[in-house]
Structure 1
Amino acid sequence: MDFWPEFLASSWGREFVAGGIGGIAGIVAGYPLDTIRIRQQHSNKGGSAPTIFRHVVSKEGPLALYRGMAAPLASVTFQNAMVFQIYAILSRAFDNDVSVTDPPSYRGVYLGGVGTGAIQSLLLSPVELVKIRLQLQRNISSTNIHRGPVDLARSILKTEGLRGMYRGLMITVLRDAPAHGVYFWTYEYMREQLHPGCRKNGQESFRTMLFAGGLAGVASWVSCYPLDVIKTRFQAQNSAKYTGIVDCFRQSVKEEGYRVLWRGLGTAVARAFVVNGAIFTAYETALRCLYTNNSPATMQTENAM
Structure 2
Amino acid sequence: MQTFPSEYGSMIKCVKNTLLTEGISKGLYAGTVPALVCNIAENSILFLSYGLCQKFIQKVNGISNVNQLTTLNNACAGSLASFFASLAICPTELIKCKLQALHETNGKVNISDSASSKIVRHILKSEGIMGLYRGFVPTIAREMPGYFFFFGGYEGSRNLLASPGQNKDEIGLWKTIISGGVGGALFWSTTYPIDVAKSRIQIYNSGESLISLIMKISKNEGFLTLYHGLTPTLVRTIPATAALFVTYEYSKN
Structure 1 distance, partners of 2:102, 2:130, is 22
Contact 1:179 1:223 in 2 (8 A): yes
Contact 1:68 1:148 in 2 (8 A): no
Give the one of 114, 124, 132 matched to 2:79. 114
Contact 2:41 2:89 in 1 (8 A): no
State the match for 2:187 in structure 1: 220
1:7-40 deviation digits (Å, cap 9, x = unpaired): xxxxxxxxxxxxxxxxxxxxxxxxxxxxxxxxx1
Secondary structure at the aligned position of 2:171 is classed as coil
CA shift at 1:76, angstroms?
3.5
Structure 2 distance, partners of 1:233, 1:195, is 41
- Deviation above 4 Å: which 4+ runs of structure 1? 139-144
Secondary structure at the aligned position of 1:228 is classed as helix
Contact 1:90 1:115 in 2 (8 A): yes
State the match for 2:3 in structure 1: 42
Q: In terms of mean alpha carbon deviation, does 217-226 or 269-278 score higher?
A: 269-278
Listed as ranges, the matches of 1:1-305 within 5 Å are 40-45=1-6, 46-63=8-25, 64-96=27-59, 97-100=62-65, 102-138=67-103, 144-196=111-163, 197-199=166-168, 202-238=169-205, 242-288=207-253
Higher RCO (CA 8 Å, separation ≥ 6 residues): 1
Structure 1 distance, partners of 2:251, 2:113, is 36
From the superposition, tell whether residues 150 and 207 of structure 1 become closer, same or farther in structure 2 (CA, over 3 Å).
same
1:172-219 deviation digits (Å, cap 9, x = unpaired): 1111001101100111111222233343xx233221121111110001
CA shift at 1:88, angstroms?
1.2
TM-score normalised to the size of structure 2? 0.88
CA shift at 1:275, angstroms?
1.3
Q: Which amino acid is the alignment partner of residue 225 of structure 1?
A: Y
CA shift at 1:161, angstroms?
1.6
CA shift at 1:81, angstroms?
1.9
Q: In terms of mean alpha carbon deviation, does 149-158 or 189-198 score higher?
A: 189-198
CA shift at 1:139, angstroms?
7.2
- RMSD between aligned alpha carbons? 2.3
Structure 2 distance, partners of 1:92, 1:101, is 7
Q: Which amino acid is the alignment partner of residue 241 of structure 2?
A: N
Contact 1:129 1:236 in 2 (8 A): yes
Q: Which amino acid is the alignment partner of residue 120 of structure 1?
A: A
CA shift at 1:112, angstroms?
0.4
CA shift at 1:75, angstroms?
4.4
CA shift at 1:122, angstroms?
1.3
CA shift at 1:144, angstroms?
4.6
Q: What is the identity percentage for the equivalent residue pairs of Structure 1 and Structure 2?
A: 26
Segments of 5+ residues of structure 2 without an aligned counterpart are none
Q: Which amino acid is the alignment partner of residue 59 of structure 1?
A: T
Contact 1:113 1:181 in 2 (8 A): yes
Secondary structure at the aligned position of 2:58 is classed as coil
From the superposition, tell whether residues 245 and 139 of structure 1 become closer, same or farther in structure 2 (CA, over 3 Å).
closer
From the superposition, tell whether residues 139 and 98 of structure 1 become closer, same or farther in structure 2 (CA, over 3 Å).
closer
Structure 1 distance, partners of 2:245, 2:137, is 27
Segments of 5+ residues of structure 1 without an aligned counterpart are 1-39, 289-305
Structure 2 distance, partners of 1:284, 1:105, is 18
Contact 1:121 1:172 in 2 (8 A): yes
